[in-house]
């Protein structure tokens, strides 16, 4: 990816900020980064360039997944990691593959354009696994119970809370 300021050198600094929902992304070469930091007009200037050339997802080479990430930033200092395998989205972009099944949930938003590009925006219509649908239901139930527990505590309904807590414990330990 080319530096968005000089349009010449390869960008090695990638930064994304989110202030009250206003997201700004930067991709700069070291020289331009320094120049902009010194000039004091860092934020506005960079965000302007960003808007002119967003990070596009492009299907350049059909079926080749990694190329979909060709324009993705290589490093973002603040990036979140998948809490199961520790992969960052930039690691996934580089490898062309996710680190664990949970990455699909952790980076759903980031992965959606790529998955849509590969699969034409369609969703699964094939068969469902018995085990997965059951464990999914269990997870949903657990989330529901935790919510109820929170409310019960808030309402100071400790009798109800105790029942809920026991139910949650039983489910967590694998029982019904």
Partner 1 sequence: MSWYDHSGPEKDVFVSSRVRLARNLEDFPFEGKLSPEQAKEIIAAVRDAFPAGDAYKFIDMSKINDIEALSYYERHYISREFAVKKSPHALVLQDQTGLSLMICEEDHLRIQCLSGGLSLRECYKTVSETEAMLSRKLPFAFDEKWGYLTHCPTNLGTGMRVSVMMFLPAFTLLNRMEALSTQLQKVGLVIRGMGGEGSRASGSLYQISNQETMGITEDNTLRKVIDIVRQIAEQERKLRASFDKPMQIRLKDRAARAEGVLRHAEMVSSGECIPLYADLRLGLALGMSTDMDLVKLDKMIFEAMPATVSLQQSGRTDDKLPDEMQRDITRAQIIRKMITP
- Binding to partner 1 by residue 141, rule CB under 8 A? no
Q: Are 5 and 32 in contact (CB under 8 A)?
A: yes
Whichever of 85 and 153 has its CB closer to partner 1, that residue is: 85
What are the C-alpha distances in Å from 33 to residues 26, 36, 43, 97, 156?
Answer: 10, 5, 11, 30, 54
CB of 118 to partner 1, least distance (A): 6
CA-CA distance, 72 to 95, in Å (whole number)?
A: 12
CA-CA distance, 62 to 120, in Å (whole number)?
A: 12
Q: Which stretch binds partner 1 (CB under 8 A): 50-58, 73-81, 133-141, 156-164?
A: 133-141
Q: Which stretch binds partner 1 (CB under 8 A): 17-25, 36-44, 46-54, 113-121?
A: 113-121
Near partner 1 by CB under 8 A: residue from 8, 34, 136, 147: 136
- Binding to partner 1 by residue 84, rule CB under 8 A? yes
- Binding to partner 1 by residue 173, rule CB under 8 A? no
Q: Are 88 and 79 in contact (CB under 8 A)?
A: yes
């Amino acid at each position: 990816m080319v530096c968005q300021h000089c349009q010449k050198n390869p960008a090695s600094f990638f930064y994304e900020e989110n202030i009250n929902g206003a997201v700004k992304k930067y991709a700069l070469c070291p020289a331009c980064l320094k120049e902009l930091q010194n000039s004091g007009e860092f934020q506005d200037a960079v965000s302007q360039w960003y808007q002119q050339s967003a990070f596009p997802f492009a299907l350049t080479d059909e079926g080749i997944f990694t190329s979909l990430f060709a324009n993705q930033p290589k490093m973002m200092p603040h990036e979140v990691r998948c809490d199961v395998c520790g992969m960052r989205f930039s690691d996934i972009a580089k490898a062309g593959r996710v680190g664990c099944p949970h990455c699909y949930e952790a980076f759903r938003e980031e992965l959606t354009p790529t998955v849509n590009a590969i699969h034409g925006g369609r969703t699964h219509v094939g068969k469902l696994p018995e085990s997965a649908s059951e464990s999914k239901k269990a997870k949903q139930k657990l989330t529901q119970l935790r919510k109820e527990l929170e409310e019960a505590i808030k309402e100071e309904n400790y009798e109800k809370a105790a029942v809920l807590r026991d139910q949650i414990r039983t489910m967590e330990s694998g029982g019904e």
